[in-house]
Copies of this chain bind each other. A is one copy, B any other.
Amino acid sequence: ALPDTTPLPDPATAHLVALLRSNPTVVDVVDATDAPPLVSRCATGEDTGVPVAADRVIGGGGFSLIAGPCAVEGGEQLMGLARDLAARGAGLLRGGVYKPRTSPYAFQGLGSDGLTMLRAASAATGLPVVTEVLDAAHVAAVAEQADMLQVGSRNGQNFALLKEVALTGLPVLLKRGFGCTVDEWLHSAEYVLAAGNSGVVLCERGIRTFESATRFTLDISAVPLVKRLSHLPVIVDPSHACGRRDLIIPLAAAAAAAGADGVMVDVHPCGPAALCDGAQALSPAEFGSLVTRVGQVLGRDPQRHD
């Protein structure tokens, strides 16, 4: 495991850096340890596939469809939705039970009750479950019920959480911090790999920019860029990126065309009534259209598991 603290670096190195920095012709001193070696494409030379269940691998050639409600709201609703999504081609079930909400008074998720509902829906459909964990104190309990742990955008540089999640050994879905560069995102992944867990899937979900017509700005260039820099799989979350139901299908198609290994989308049986992010949830029928559209772009069926 990674230590929380480190001894002082070797003084000779520090002295050399100081000398270089005090030379007025030196613009910058770049530390070679700044490149994330385990995450780098050079580390393996080929694309890594991250297995989530016996027959579910993200990356490594397939195209993964992860779908479900932004927040789990009830067992029956979730069960019905999960069956519908599985029938339409989803490969994994997403659903939040601990929600990072801007306001402390907003709906925070159903917690362990929600985990039980996710487990039941997974048992009935065979869809592995990915769910977000916000708090190191919840990691063990969530890891017992989930097949994959998500670290959300607001925790994209919460290094304590990254280390804790890494130690479960479960695959990790690592969203890009909406204020983070691609370089910082890859370094966050390095925290997980350095802790001995190589099962990281990167998820581009939009960055903060001046454009306000969409909630965030999907950085589609990050997809081929990550593919060049790293061997890890990269997927796209168009729902949180744009925050508008009407743009999600074209953005999912763009992600597939740009080389992403999958997409993750919010689906809700009744979007406008959703307790969280209702404006961006597809209906199950719209999810079906997304699967069809992505298939057209890929020139083949996306990874289906029926």
Chain A residues close to B by CB (< 8 Å)? 2-6, 8-9, 14-15, 17-18, 21-22, 31, 33-34, 36, 73-74, 97-98, 100-114, 134-138, 154-155, 157-161, 177-184, 187, 190-191, 194, 207-214, 217-225, 228, 241-242, 246-247, 250-251, 253-259, 270, 272-273, 275, 278-279, 296-297, 299
Residue of B nearest to A270 (CB): B18
Since A103-B187, A181-B210, A218-B219 are in contact, a sample of 16 more A-B pairs with Cβ atoms closer than 8 Å, ordered by chain A residue number, is A4-B111, A5-B114, A8-B107, A15-B273, A34-B102, A102-B184, A135-B160, A178-B179, A209-B219, A218-B220, A224-B250, A250-B259, A256-B257, A257-B257, A257-B258, A257-B297
Docked Cα-Cα span, A3 to B104, in Å, equals 9
Asked whether B224 lies within 8 Å of A246 as measured between CB atoms, the reply is: yes
CB contacts (< 8 Å) of A299 on chain B: these are: 296, 299
Asked whether B6 lies within 8 Å of A107 as measured between CB atoms, the reply is: yes
CB contacts (< 8 Å) of A178 on chain B: these are: 179
CB contacts (< 8 Å) of A31 on chain B: these are: 106
Residue of B nearest to A180 (CB): B179
Residue of B nearest to A294 (CB): B257
CB contacts (< 8 Å) of A222 on chain B: these are: 211
Docked Cα-Cα span, A2 to B108, in Å, equals 10
CB contacts (< 8 Å) of A209 on chain B: these are: 207-210, 217, 219
Asked whether A253 lies within 8 Å of B258 as measured between CB atoms, the reply is: yes
A74's contact among B8, B9, B97, B211, by CB below 8 Å, is which?
B8
A219's contact among B154, B155, B182, B211, by CB below 8 Å, is which?
B211
Question: Given that A21-B278, A217-B221 are known contacts, is A158 also in contact with B155, CB under 8 Å in the complex?
Answer: yes
Asked whether A207 lies within 8 Å of B217 as measured between CB atoms, the reply is: yes
The listed residue with most B CB atoms (<10 A of its CB), out of A33, A187, A254, is: A254
A244 to chain B minimum Cβ distance, whole angstroms, is: 8
User: Would you give 11 A-B contacts (Cβ < 8 Å), ordered by A?
Assistant: A2-B104, A31-B106, A102-B183, A135-B160, A158-B161, A181-B211, A207-B209, A209-B217, A218-B221, A223-B250, A254-B255
Asked whether A179 lies within 8 Å of B181 as measured between CB atoms, the reply is: no
Question: Given that A36-B103, A210-B210, A213-B182 are known contacts, is A254 also in contact with B220, CB under 8 Å in the complex?
Answer: yes
Asked whether B103 lies within 8 Å of A34 as measured between CB atoms, the reply is: yes
CB contacts (< 8 Å) of A5 on chain B: these are: 97-98, 108-114
Docked Cα-Cα span, A220 to B220, in Å, equals 7
Asked whether B213 lies within 8 Å of A210 as measured between CB atoms, the reply is: no
Top-6 shortest CB links A-B: A179-B179, A5-B111, A18-B273, A135-B160, A257-B257, A154-B157
A102's contact among B114, B187, B211, by CB below 8 Å, is which?
B187
Residue of B nearest to A253 (CB): B257
Residue of B nearest to A26 (CB): B272
Asked whether A272 lies within 8 Å of B104 as measured between CB atoms, the reply is: no
CB contacts (< 8 Å) of A2 on chain B: these are: 104
